Structure 1
Amino acid sequence: MTGTLAPGQTIGGRYVVQHYLAEGGMQFVYVAQDTVTDRVVALKTPKNPSAEKRFRRSAIVAAKVNHPNVAKTLDYVEENGATFLVEELIEGEDLKVALLTRTDYVDPYLVAKIFRHLAKGVSAAHHNGVVHRDLKPTNIMVVGGYNVAELKVTDFGIAKMAEAELDEAAEGGDASLSASATALGAIPYMAPEAIDAPETVGLPADVWSIGAIVLHILYGNYPYGSGLRAVGNITKNSPISTPQFVTSNSQFRPLAEEIIELAGRCLQSAPEDRPTADQLVEMCDTLCYTVSDRKLGSVKNYHYDAYGFIRTSGDDVFFHKDSVFGELPKVNESVVFSCYDGGQAPRALPVLKLK
C-alpha cells in the first residue's frame, strides 16, 4: 500500500510530494520538497479520521521541543478535509528495524550510547513540559544503523503537556488514543501508572519507558514479557531474570551491570522513586563506551579455539572469543564490529553475530 498522495501533488501551497516513503500504524509518510525553503521534508498524513486528532496534537506539542535528539516538527496543514504533519526528514530507520532485525540484542557499548542520547531527547521534551507517553523502539529513529550516528525521538501523537488540564474523558480523548493498536504495541514499555490510571501519567512515565527499552535491546527480550501478559508483570514489578550471556563475559560485565542498575532505577514502581530525565542524563554521562565506527564482516577462521580473524572488504581483523558479546559466530557467519589498532593487525571489540 502506498497511500493516497501522488508525486507532484502540492500540499499547503508549498509542499510538493516527491514519492511515497513508508507507513506506520496510523500514518502514511511521503518525501516532499518545501518550495519556500528548498528543503526536503517528511510529509505525514493519517490513514483514517481517528488518527487526525493525534496529528494536530503532535504538531502542537512536539513543536515546543528543539533538540538534536528529537525530530523537528516544521508545520501542520489542514486542507480539503485532510490533515498533514511536516517534520524534518530523517534518513534512517526506527530503532527496532535498524538494530533488532539482524540481531536479537545489542552489546553494552552500543546500548550505553543509545541510553544516553535517548535520555537527552526525553530530557529536552520534559524541559518544555512535554510528556511523550508512547516511547517505544518504533518511535525512535536511528541514522547510520549500528553506528547510531543520530538518534531522534519522534511521534508525539499522544503526548501532552504535563501541567495541562485536559478534559479528554468527555471528548473520548485518552480513551480513544489508548485503545488503539499503537497502545497494545507499547504495553511492554508502559509504566505501571500508565496501565492502572492513564489520566495520572506524568514525566516519570517516560523515564520508566526508557528503562524498559534499554533492557529490551540489551537482553533481546522484553523485560516484563510482551503483549497483555506483560500487564500483570509490570504492575507487580516482576521482571524477567537477566539473561546469563549479558553478564557472563568479563569483558562486558562491568558496563552491562552499570546499565542494568541504572535501568532498574528507571523501572521503580513508584514514580517518585525514579530519577528525573535530567538526573538520568547526568548518570548516563558517567557510562564509558566506545564510539568507534561499526563495520560488517564475516568470520574467516579460528585458531586454538581462542581467537581468529574477521574477513572484511579491506584487511583481516583479529578478534578474541572474549570480544564477542552473546552467541559465538561460526566460520563464514556475518558479524558487526568495531576495531582499533592492535599492533600487528587491527583488533575487533566488540563483535556481535548477525542473523
Structure 2
Amino acid sequence: MKKSLGHYEVIDKLGAGGMGEVYRVHDTILDRQLALKVLRFEPGTDPLYRRRINREARAIASLDHPNIVKVFSVEEFEGVHFFTMELVCGSTLSDLYLQDGFSLSRFLDIALPLASGISCAHSHGVTHHDLKPNNILVNRIEGEARLKIVDFGLARLPHQSPAGVDGPRGGSPSPAGRVFGTVAYMSPEQAQGKPSGPTSDVFSLGVIMYEILTGEAPFRGDNAAATIESVLTEDPPPLLEVRPDLPPALSSIVARCLLKDARLRYSSAIPLHGDLKNLAESQSAAGPEARREQPGVSSLRENSIFLEEEERNAGRVTGDVPPFVGESVEPVFG
C-alpha cells in the first residue's frame, strides 16, 4: 500500500476483508483521522461492475443518521478505488451479550436505535444484507448507550471467493444465485440464494432481537449447512416460553420478524421501528412495575458490563472491531 492516496496519509492498516483493505488515514486538508477502505478488484474486472460499486457506495454515502457509520466520500486516485468513513470507537454488540438475555429496558436501548438506523436506510432504498451483532457497535458516552451500524450495502456485491458462505458466525458475499451473508442471521430467501431486500433485513433484526433477549441464537447448527437447514425448516421456541417476564406484544413483534414467508413479515424496518416505539411508550406509561427487571439480570450487572467495556475501549479506535462500511474486517470479537 502506498504511503498516501492523494491528500490522505496512511497511518496504519486496521484490517482486511474480501472486498479490500482498511486503513487509518490522516486527511491533510481537513486535518482529521478517517477510516479509508481500498476496494480490491481482480484484473479484468468488468468496468460496469466498478461503476455499479460506485453507484452503491454513493447511495450508502447519502445516508445521514446518528446510528449509521457515515461514509464521507467515494474516490479514485491513480486507479485505486476507495471510500473514506468516520473512525468510530466501540465494542460489538456480541461483546455485551448476557447469558440470560437483556432486560426489557436494556433491550429497548439497543433495539430502538438499531431499528431507527435501518429504517433510514430502507427509506432511501438501501438494504444492509448482512446484519449481525459484529456489525453493530455500542459505546457508552455520558451514561448513554450509543449505537452505530456498520458494513452497509456492499455486503451484497459480488465477491471473488468461490465459497458461497462462511461459518455460522462468519460471513462472505457471493454472486447472485448463490448464498451470501452470515448464515446464523440470514433470511430463508438469502439462504436459498434468492433475491433479497428490506424484509431480509427485518428477519436478521428478528434474529438479533431474539438472541439478545434470550442469550441463545434462534437458529443453530454445527456447521454452515446445518445452520442453513435450521433457518429454512425450524422455528425457535416462542419468546414467552423462554422469557415469560416479557410483554406479549414484544413476543409478537419478534415472531413476525422471524416468519419464513417474507411477505408476512414487516415490509421494512419502518413499521417495525414504529411498533417498537409504541411498545416503549406503553411500557413507560404503565409505570415502573411493568418495567421490572428479570430476576438475575439486574441493571447493575448490565451497567458493569458497559463500564468494563468502556474502560477497555478507552482510546481504542475501530481497528479492533469491524467498524467499516463494506465487508467486516479482521480481527473481530465473538
- Fold-level similarity (TM above 0.5): yes
Could you tell me which runs of 5 or more consecutive residues in structure 1 were left unpaired when the two chains were aligned. 161-167, 292-319, 327-333, 339-355
The number of residues matched between the two structures is 276
Matched residues, percent identical? Answer: 30
The one-letter code sitting in structure 2 at the alignment partner of 1:220 is: G
Contact 1:105 1:217 in 2 (8 A): yes
What is the CA–CA distance in structure 2 between the aligned matches of 1:271 and 1:46, rounded to whole Å? 32
What is the CA–CA distance in structure 1 between the aligned matches of 2:254 and 2:201, rounded to whole Å? 12
**Structure-2 residue corresponding to 1:134:** 130
SS for the counterpart of 2:151 is coil
Higher alpha-carbon deviation: 258-267 or 210-219: 258-267
**Structure-1 residue corresponding to 2:208:** 213
The one-letter code sitting in structure 1 at the alignment partner of 2:228 is: V
Could you tell me which runs of 5 or more consecutive residues in structure 2 were left unpaired when the two chains were aligned. 173-179, 285-291, 305-334
What is the CA–CA distance in structure 1 between the aligned matches of 2:18 and 2:138, rounded to whole Å? 18
The one-letter code sitting in structure 1 at the alignment partner of 2:296 is: V
**Structure-2 residue corresponding to 1:16:** 9
- Cα 1:277/1:336, change in 2 over 3 Å: closer
- Cα 1:205/1:175, change in 2 over 3 Å: farther
CA RMSD across the alignment: 3.8
SS for the counterpart of 2:138 is strand
Q: Deviations over 1:128-168 (max 9, x none)?
A: 111211111122222229x66321222125357xxxxxxx9
Higher alpha-carbon deviation: 282-291 or 259-268: 282-291
Higher alpha-carbon deviation: 103-112 or 210-219: 103-112
SS for the counterpart of 2:64 is coil
Higher alpha-carbon deviation: 183-192 or 269-278: 183-192
Shift in Å, 1:105: 4.1
Where do 1:222-241 residues align within 5 Å? 222-226=217-221, 227-236=224-233, 238-241=234-237
User: Is residue 123 of structure 1 aligned with residue 152 of structure 2?
Assistant: no
Where do 1:7-156 residues align within 5 Å? 9-11=3-5, 13-23=6-16, 26-46=19-39, 49=42, 56=54, 59-96=57-94, 98-100=95-97, 105-144=101-140, 149-156=145-152
* Relative contact order, higher structure (CA 8 A, sep 6+): 2
SS for the counterpart of 1:33 is strand
**Structure-1 residue corresponding to 2:280:** 288
What is the CA–CA distance in structure 2 between the aligned matches of 1:151 and 1:232, rounded to whole Å? 31
**Structure-1 residue corresponding to 2:154:** 158
**Structure-2 residue corresponding to 1:325:** 297
More strand by share: 1
Q: Deviations over 1:4-62 (max 9, x none)?
A: 56xxx222x22122333345565443322212222321112357849996975652331
- Cα 1:159/1:46, change in 2 over 3 Å: closer
User: Is residue 247 of structure 1 aligned with residue 247 of structure 2?
Assistant: no
**Structure-2 residue corresponding to 1:179:** 164
Aligned partner of 1:273 among 264, 272, 293: 264
